[in-house]
């Protein structure tokens, strides 16, 4: 079974990830991992941390000569800011400076401190920080390379930032190329300018802003996931993975909450046969009964505004229970474009996991043989 773990703190020495269950023989291009890490650091409204870090991945094990070995893969991402925090965050000797006793509303600070009995809530925020997502992005960018030989592609975009929606209608290859080059992840230039103006306005008020990101996966065969067991339903696993991303508060697939607003004939996708089965629409977002149906998987996620505000909200100092203003850590005004990279990585991993579960083998040759036999069979269905 494909799985991974991450470790590391936002101001610690490094972030690490260990991936288990990758088959042998997957060609790995570390440049693609680093490109994804770079994309995560981009976007209009990012904070000062992005000027310090220049994330690159180092593969420590599990790959030789550019190909996976079938053994666990370890990845390391250096935290360059560690040089400024070594005295405070050292694993053996740590100086109790910059202790956090004024928890931020909307963050894990207070509840995490209560749960693990951390009086200095820096012990909470260092791990709860979205800095951890750099490791997840590296994992997604690595495992998705297993899917490339099968024509499976992942595209991301930002659908909304605050009150500004991307007005672009056509989502073709040219659209996604514009998205990659957009500072806000939009495909429409006029919408892009309005979003940037909106971020400037939010920043001037000491506020932060969230938005909606969208991931589209093409080239998937029908049958990934399962209707048999609740914990093997692909839409459930996708929702779980995406909801685990810091600041995500809602996930929808296909028509999403819109299915509650109209009648069944306007929701369900009619099936036709033309040298294979296909749907005339894709309101289901490519998943029916917990399984891919052969149409593109379309998932959207809602990101809340980042809880660190430069005009901080009211809170309580846990040291003396007096009313204070929340702690201000270096942060972003808007991280929605970066969030689209992180959510894509979460989707990449869950799709790769479902693909490996369906066509699993110890090496890519076994997976290819299983995939080809399955595709031949379903063409005759």
pLDDT the model gives residue 307: 87
User: How confident is the model over 64-73, as a mean pLDDT?
Assistant: 98
* CA atoms of 84 and 46, how far apart (whole Å): 20
CA proximity to 21, closest of 53, 62, 58: 62
Q: How many domains are contained in the chain?
A: 1
User: How confident is the model over 187-210, as a mean pLDDT?
Assistant: 95
Of the pLDDT bands very low, low, confident and very high (cuts 50, 70, 90), residue 67 is very high
User: How confident is the model over 366-372, as a mean pLDDT?
Assistant: 98
Can you read off the two tokens belonging to residue 220?
A: 């998937």
Q: Find the domain containing 93 and state its range.
A: 3-379
User: How confident is the model over 282-302, as a mean pLDDT?
Assistant: 98
Entry field: residues in the chain: 381
* CA atoms of 286 and 238, how far apart (whole Å): 12
User: How confident is the model over 247-268, as a mean pLDDT?
Assistant: 97
Of the pLDDT bands very low, low, confident and very high (cuts 50, 70, 90), residue 49 is low
Are the C-beta atoms of 185 and 156 separated by less than 8 Å?
yes
User: How confident is the model over 323-344, as a mean pLDDT?
Assistant: 90
CA proximity to 108, closest of 129, 132, 92, 131: 129
pLDDT the model gives residue 320: 96
pLDDT the model gives residue 372: 98
What pLDDT digit, counting tens, does each position of 73-110 carry?
999 999 999 999 999 999 988 888 889 999 999 999 99
pLDDT the model gives residue 330: 66
pLDDT the model gives residue 327: 77
Judged by average pLDDT, the poorest of 79-83, 95-99, 203-207, 357-361 is 95-99
Judged by average pLDDT, the poorest of 107-111, 124-128, 310-314, 350-354 is 310-314
pTM score, whole prediction: 0.95
Predicted confidence (pLDDT) at residue 52 exceeds the cutoff of 70: no
Predicted confidence (pLDDT) at residue 41 exceeds the cutoff of 60: yes
Can you read off the two tokens belonging to residue 169?
A: 């209608």
Q: Which distant-in-sequence residues (6+ apart) come within 8 Å of 39 by Cβ? A: 180, 338, 341
When the pLDDT of each residue in the chain is averaged and rounded to a whole number, the result is 95
CATH number of the domain residue 81 falls in: 3.60.150.10
- The pairing of strands 3-7 and 14-20 is antiparallel
Can you read off the two tokens belonging to residue 249?
A: 């508060």
Q: What percent of the chain has pLDDT over 90?
A: 87
DSSP 8-state symbol, 221:
P
Judged by average pLDDT, the poorest of 139-148, 321-330, 361-370 is 321-330
Q: Quick one: which H or E segment has residue 64? A: strand 63-64
């Amino acid at each position: 079974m494909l799985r991974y773990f991450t470790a590391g703190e936002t101001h610690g020495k490094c972030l690490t990830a260990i991936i288990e269950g990758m088959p042998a023989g997957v060609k790995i291009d570390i440049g693609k991992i680093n490109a994804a890490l770079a994309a995560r650091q981009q976007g209009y409204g990012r904070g000062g941390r992005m000027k310090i870090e220049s994330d690159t991945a180092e593969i420590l094990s599990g790959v030789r000569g550019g190909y996976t070995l079938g053994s666990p893969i370890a990845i390391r991402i250096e935290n360059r800011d560690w040089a400024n925090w070594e005295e405070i965050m050292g694993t053996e000797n740590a100086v109790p400076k910059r202790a956090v006793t004024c928890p931020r509303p909307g963050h894990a600070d207070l509840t995490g401190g209560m749960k693990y009995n951390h009086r200095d809530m820096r012990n909470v925020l260092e791990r709860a920080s979205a800095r951890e997502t750099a490791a997840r992005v590296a994992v997604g960018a690595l495992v998705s390379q297993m899917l490339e030989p099968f024509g499976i592609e992942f595209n991301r975009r930002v659908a909304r930032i605050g009150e500004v929606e991307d007005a672009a209608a056509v989502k073709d290859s040219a659209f996604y190329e514009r998205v990659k080059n957009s500072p806000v992840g939009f495909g429409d230039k006029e919408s892009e300018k309005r979003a940037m103006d909106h971020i400037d306005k939010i920043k001037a008020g000491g506020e932060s802003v969230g938005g909606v990101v969208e991931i589209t996966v093409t080239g998937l065969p029908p049958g990934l996931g399962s209707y048999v067991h609740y914990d093997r339903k692909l839409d459930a696993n996708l929702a779980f993975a995406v909801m685990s991303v810091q600041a995500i508060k809602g996930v929808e697939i296909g028509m999403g909450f819109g299915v509650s607003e109209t009648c069944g004939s306007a929701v369900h996708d009619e099936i036709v046969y033309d040298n294979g089965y296909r749907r005339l629409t894709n309101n289901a977002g490519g998943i029916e009964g917990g399984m891919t149906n052969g149409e593109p998987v379309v998932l959207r996620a809602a990101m809340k505004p980042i809880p660190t505000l430069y005009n901080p909200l009211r809170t309580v100092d846990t040291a003396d229970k007096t009313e204070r203003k929340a702690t201000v850590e270096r942060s972003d005004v808007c991280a929605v474009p970066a969030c689209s990279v992180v959510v894509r990585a979460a989707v990449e991993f869950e799709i790769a996991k479902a693909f490996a579960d369906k066509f699993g083998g110890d090496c890519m040759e076994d997976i290819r043989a299983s995939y080809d036999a399955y595709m031949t069979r379903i063409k005759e269905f």
